[in-house]
Amino acid sequence: MLLQALFRLEAENSSQPEARASVAQGTEIDARRVVAINRVPAEEANQSFWSDYVGRSLAILLQHAGYHEESQRKHLRFFKDIIAPHLGAPLSSWKSFMTDDGNPVELSWEWSVDDQEPRVRYSIEPIGPHTGTKLDPFNTAVIRDFDQALARALPEADMTWYEHFARFFSCSTTDSISRESQGHATHRFYAFDLVDDDITAKAYFFPGFKARELRVAILDLISQSISSAPQWFSYGARALAAFQAFGAQKQLEYDMVAIDLVKPRESRIKIYYRCRETAFESVVDCLTLSGLVTFPALSQGIQDLRVFWNALFQKGDQSQIPLPTVNHRTAGILYNVELRPNYTSPVVKMYIPVRHYCNSDQHVVQTLSSFLRSKVSDRSAEAYTKVMQSLL
């Protein structure tokens, strides 16, 4: 598991507000394009816009990740027919929490340390036609339509846990889901892992709104939601208890709970949390839950991460010195702790926010390319570099 078990780079663009660095959405809003598509019916125009702009970037990722042609066509059709119609108007006033620039789509790919082909993924926040207006001020109306479209497109998806967590975190008052309470008004994400010809869906819930309504601690509410889930695997209780013990001694911000839309006995549960401490020693503490997480490759994984961290942030070997202070809702380090079937110990991953702490896209690309070349393969480094040259 090595490096993959320790951190994942979901690189956020450090200098351009409209693009994402390591995966580069390529969905920057072109006003001239918007004017052109506004000559056709609104829903058709919106679908065309997102299908063209995001579809282009998605096609580049699929090609360079080695997906065969029929798989590429299938995944692009799914995005065009199911996802694009539910992304709203390209110049919508709604600012999604998905990205720092309010874009409702984030593309990514994941490398394996054993030099397998990378896996392409993307995450979205569905946006309705009236989102942000008096008709749908909190973007709730679109969820039912999108869920129905998703069920038709992916009939094998299991909604058992989705329905449980959706009910558990549902708020009864609009005041509870105001933007001011959480620094955003987003309350549902979806993500899609593209594995050969298959698509695995995931759902993300934001428990902070319900915790505010009930006036309870967010971690307590999250723990209750997990423990009461149908078919919750009892051996997962040990992993959850380990994370609760860690959370009790750290100042953490809890953003999301995520599940796979598969049978409960096969699904993972992820808790996303943010720590504003950015010194490398704090990163190690969060990744190991203060020493509660151990496995044979841990020491080597930490060493590899330190090399990458020092090169990326040009810190030298100064593990006690934090990154520059940034006053932003998504500053700090985002982590997720994963509770898996058949795992009695949690698995922790981190997301490195290069948007806030790196000087340029070029530096990020060069650093990650060098790292892939040294730790994975020349082939992976070359594929990554080609993709970035195509997208940025």
Question: What pLDDT is recorded for position 327?
Answer: 92
Mean pLDDT of 324-334: 92
Of the candidate ranges 70-79, 134-143, 244-253, 257-266, the one whose mean pLDDT is the lowest: 134-143
> Which contacts of 173-181 are long-range, i.e. CB under 8 A and separated by 24 or more positions?
173/213, 174/137, 174/138, 176/209, 176/210, 176/212, 176/213, 177/138, 177/140, 177/209, 181/208, 181/209, 181/212
CB burial of 262-289 (b: ≥16 within 10 Å; e: otherwise) equals: bebeebbbbbbbbbebbbbebbbbbbbb
Q: Which region among 6-15, 30-39, 50-59, 252-261 has the lowest average model confidence (pLDDT)?
A: 6-15
Given a cut of 90, is residue 113 above it in pLDDT?
Answer: no
Confidence at residue 180, expressed as pLDDT on a 0 to 100 scale: 61
What pLDDT is attached to residue 182? 76
Give strand ranges (E) for 48-178: 105-110, 119-124
Q: If you average pLDDT over residues 135-163, what whole number do you get?
A: 94
Both tokens of 36, joined, read 């052109």
As a whole number of angstroms, the distance between CA 309 and CA 323 comes to 11
Assign 336 a pLDDT band (cuts: 50, 70, 90).
very high
Distance between first and last Cα of the chain = 31
Question: What's residue 114's pLDDT?
Answer: 72
Q: What average pLDDT does the segment 346-351 reach?
A: 93
Cα(357)–Cα(326) distance, rounded to whole angstroms? 8
Q: State the pLDDT at residue 96.
A: 92
Q: Mean pLDDT lowest for which of 32-36, 160-164, 342-346?
A: 32-36
- Its sign, for the CA torsion 350, 114, 304, 361, is negative
pLDDT band at 174 (very low <50, low <70, confident <90, very high): low
pLDDT of residue 215: 92
Q: Average model confidence (pLDDT) for the chain?
A: 86
CA distances from 84 to 44, 73, 96, 217 (A): 10, 15, 15, 36
Position 21 scores a pLDDT of 32
Q: What is the rounded distance in angstroms from the CA atom of residue 388 to the CA atom of residue 392?
A: 6
Model confidence at 23, pLDDT cuts 50, 70, 90, reads: very low
Region class of 227: left (phi > 0), else alpha (psi between -120 and 50), else beta: alpha
* pLDDT surpassing 50 at residue 277: yes
Query: Which CB contacts under 8 angstroms, 24+ apart, belong to 13-19?
Result: 13/354, 13/355, 13/361, 14/354, 14/355, 14/356, 14/357, 14/358, 14/359, 14/360, 14/361, 14/363, 14/364, 15/359, 15/360, 15/361, 16/361, 16/392, 17/100, 17/101, 18/101, 18/103, 19/391, 19/392
Q: What is the three-class DSSP state of 188?
A: strand
Which H or E run includes 302?
A: helix 298-313
- Helices 280-287 and 298-313: crossing angle in degrees, nearest 10, is 150
pLDDT at 91: 80
The whole-angstrom separation of Cα 73 and Cα 361 is 30
